[in-house]
Chain A
Amino acid sequence: MSCLHDILPHLAALGDAGMPRLTGTWWDQSRVYIADIFVLIGVVFCFLASVGIIRMPDLYMRMQAATKAGTLGVSCIVVAAAIYAGSVLIAAEVALIVLFFFLTAPVATHLVARAAYLDADPIWDRAWRNDLDGCYDLEKGVLRSRPRATLVRPLPTVHRNIIAARHPAGRTATEDTPDDAG
């Protein structure tokens, strides 16, 4: 009993947050700082996600900013918690969290984007292309894929000029300049 009395204050000192982490292997000494680095990365990505959801002009852009940056940010912070804890059980739990986020975030975002498109949510007025135009069958609620020929559109003139300059005898050049071929 007296032995326990002698040890108890030392145990209390060990339970203090500061010193006991400095003893041990290299991993025990430095994993706190590695966890700090992960927390820093995650917080930066979370902040970028919040900036994106405020500043982006369009629902769909807001959605991609929020989902991609938010998923990476929360994953980094949770991984930091696992590194800080340093136990296998917590690491398994954290792997489960990261798996859930990486599985469910794209699915949820796809559902919301589909619903918003059907709800005629306005697209940014400076967007120059809408691949889903006329693809939804509203009565059956299915998405028809568009015929391949309508998706392929002529390249802009700049690109055609670059391709013609790179391949002077190529197919593109002869197609674009029928005068030379004839």
Chain B
Amino acid sequence: MIDALFDFRENLFLSAAGAVLGLAILCAMFRMVVGPSMADRIVALDLLGFFAASIIAVYAIRTDQEVVLSVAIVMALILFLGTAAFAKYLERRATSEILEAEEARS
């Protein structure tokens, strides 16, 4: 019975966790493709990075290689850099557009 329990957790449980995470990644990619504004796409990209780190952790548990968790550290850092850069770009673009519109009006 204990063998069956281990088979379950080695084969089925972690695979199901990975499958659910894959489904979540599909949902986030749907929002990234469909998302009406650019900020939606940035948020979806952020969430994709979260899910990627989760899948890396599940893979580390499943295959007994905890070394891959270093990838999750790098992913956390680069994710923040990417999101901040996109947000900065969006903010500068929006501000310059608004200022140009005001100048054209006045």
Contact = CB atoms under 8 A, between A and B. Distances in A.
Contact of A93 (B30, B37, B73, B87): B73
Interface string B39-72: 1101110110011011001101100101001101
A49 B54 contact: no
Interface string B69-106: 11011001101100110111011011100110010000
Q: Chain A binding site: helix, strand, loop or mixed by DSSP? A: helix
Given A54-B31, A115-B88, A93 B70 contact: yes
Contacts of B20: 43, 46-47
Interface stretch (A3-11, A59-67, A158-166, A167-175): A59-67
A62 B31 contact: yes
B60 A43 contact: no
9 contacts: A43-B20, A46-B21, A46-B50, A47-B20, A47-B23, A54-B31, A67-B46, A108-B84, A112-B42
Interface of B: 2-3, 6, 9-10, 13-14, 17, 20-21, 23-25, 27-28, 30-31, 37-40, 42-44, 46-47, 50-51, 53-54, 57-58, 60-61, 64, 66, 69-70, 72-73, 76-77, 79-80, 83-84, 86-88, 90-91, 93-95, 98-99, 102
